[in-house]
Amino acid sequence: MARTRTTKSVAQRIDLNYFKRQTPYKRARLILVILAPLLALGWIAWRGLSRDSRVYSSGRMSGAHAVLEKQCAACHIEKAGEFSAKAADAGCLACHDGPVHHEEQVRAEVPACATCHVEHRGRVNIVASSSASCAECHANLKVAAGSLPYYPHIQSLEEGHPEIGARRPNVKDPGTILLNHAVHMKPIRRGPNGPLVQMECSDCHRPEGYKGSWPYADADYVDAKVTYEDKDVLVPVSAGTLQPRLVKARAYMAPVRFASSCAECHLLTFDKRFDTGVPHDKPEVVHAFLIKKFQEYIAAHPAEVRVLREPQRDLTGKPIPPEVRVLTPAQWVSERTADAEELLWRKTCKQCHALIQAPGSDLPKIAEARLTQRWMPHARFDHDAHRGFACTGCHPGALTSKETSDVLIPNLATCKACHAPGPEHAESRCFECHTYHNWAKRKEVKPTYLLPALQTGGR
């Protein structure tokens, strides 16, 4: 029999009630359609009643503000009964200060805190502001009055950032201590007759506040009080620069000291009658020390006022009998002092110092050491954060430099080898290396705000 396949017979196979019939799937969907909004509404109501406004929030708070997750009004200050959608600077400033950058800045207004410190982006570092927030001014920097002291077209570290000041052409190290790094980085004698040793950078350079022992220190010199002060030795950090919030204890290397790094090899001996050296101090102090030492000596050894003139030979080569001179003790002291000073000023001190003949004085002056404490006053740096890297990776010149005037600080290209965009590199946005707020202008803020959890307390 032939199969009859009419439209009707086909249509009869279709269940016309299909869309009305309940299936487990459709039942679940219906329940969901009704329940979900109910749940959502309930949740909002419940949150509203519990005064939790996180529902309106566009994301989690930064780590520093995690405790404020529910405290919208701390930042979104309530005005006329409504929260502002913008975070108000006044809110931020009620809890902590954010002092100005530079008074000279000429944008219509100081940028709002939230331009740089973004929120609701999850548990991020709220300090990590974008380079664009700085480039807003620094890509085309203008100052209110006078000429611009800084390079004005910086977009990013990669684009337009100038060289480190100390590494620009013709900049010299102003220091006057005549240290030849190359000589000391090769095997060298430990003292006049000592064995050969290989010195390391850390024999002379340690972070500020280092309390351990130094291999080439002389305890007598370390313990001695000196009459010159740090301000005589160090070049002051220029006042016009931004002051960081805090400088970590191990960020910078301490100035090199004769007592802790040179004294064991470079003896300040002055006369064969004594083992000890003169104090490492101003020539006046050395002079007074010499006179006292020789006076004490001649009092203890009165016979020595008889001095032999240096043995001389006549033309035939036969020694002539030495002439004996008998001095008063005062004459003896002044002759010995003059001899010792001749040696010290012309040879011993002069190996490391420039000596200046002061007019109207018999004693020379020691040139100010002028050791630089901050090579990059306009940027942050921290040796401790880079302690995994070899010193010579950043200071290769220290192995070959023969002149104190050489600058051994790295150039910006060295920084950029590691500080570059991308996850495999160290941070390269401005905030990593720069201070923005001038923390010298910081005002103490007494936070009046109490977390609700604490407000109920007070027993």
* Residues near ligand HEC (CB under 6 A), total: 156
Instruction: Work out which of 269, 295, 334, 435 binds ligand HEC, going by CB under 6 A.
Output: 435
351 binds ligand HEC (CB under 6 A): yes
Q: State yes or no: residue 153 binds ligand HEC (CB under 6 A).
A: no
Nearer to ligand HEC, 139 or 327 (CB): 139
Q: Select from 47, 64, 335, 442 the one that contacts ligand HEC (CB under 6 A).
A: 64
Candidates 247, 271, 381, 442; binder of ligand HEC (CB under 6 A) is 381
The answer to whether residues 126 and 118 touch, using CB atoms and an 8 Å cutoff, is yes
Nearer to ligand HEC, 46 or 56 (CB): 56
Residue with Cβ nearer ligand HEC (94 or 305): 94
| Tokens 């203890």 found at | 300
Q: Select from 254, 191, 188, 179 the least CA-distant residue to 217.
A: 191
| Cα–Cα distance for residue pair 174/169, rounded to 1 Å | 15
Q: Does 232 bind ligand HEC (CB under 6 A)?
A: yes
> What is d(CA 342, CA 348) in angstroms, rounded to the nearest whole number?
9
* Identity of the residue, 93 or 299, whose beta carbon is nearer to ligand HEC in the bound complex: 93
How many Cβ atoms from other residues are within 10 Å of residue 413's Cβ? 10
Copy the structure tokens of residue 141: 């920097």
Of 111, 222, 304, 334, the one binding ligand HEC (CB under 6 A) is 111
The verdict on 357 binding ligand HEC (CB under 6 A) reads no
Residue 335 Cβ, how far from ligand HEC at the closest point, in Å?
19
What's the closest the beta carbon of residue 302 comes to ligand HEC, in angstroms? Answer: 28
Classify residue 83 as exposed, middle or buried by CB count within 10 Å of its CB (0-12, 13-18, 19+). Answer: middle
CB of 251 to ligand HEC, least distance (A): 7
Of 87-106, binders to ligand HEC (CB under 6 A) are 87, 89, 91-96, 98, 101-102, 104-105
Long-range contacts of 148-156 (CB under 8 A, 24+ apart): 149/240, 150/378, 155/131, 156/131, 156/428, 156/430
CB 409 within 8 A of CB 375: yes
Q: Which of 77, 114, 171, 291 binds ligand HEC (CB under 6 A)?
A: 114
Number of CB atoms found within 10 A of residue 455's CB: 9
Question: Binding to ligand HEC by residue 341, rule CB under 6 A?
Answer: no
**Residue 72 interacts with ligand HEC (CB under 6 A): yes or no:** yes
Is residue 181 a contact residue for ligand HEC (CB under 6 A)?
Answer: yes
- Residue 354 CB, shortest distance to ligand HEC, in Å, is 10
Q: Does 375 contact ligand HEC by CB under 6 A?
A: yes
Rounded to whole angstroms, the Cα distance separating 9 from 25 reads 29
Q: Does 363 bind ligand HEC (CB under 6 A)?
A: no
- Indicate whether 306 belongs to the interface with ligand HEC (CB under 6 A): no
Instruction: Please tell me the distance from the alpha carbon of residue 204 to that of residue 256, in angstroms, as a whole number.
Output: 6
Q: Which residues of 381-403 are buried (b: 16+ CB within 10 A; e: fewer)?
A: bebeeeeeeebeebbeebeebee
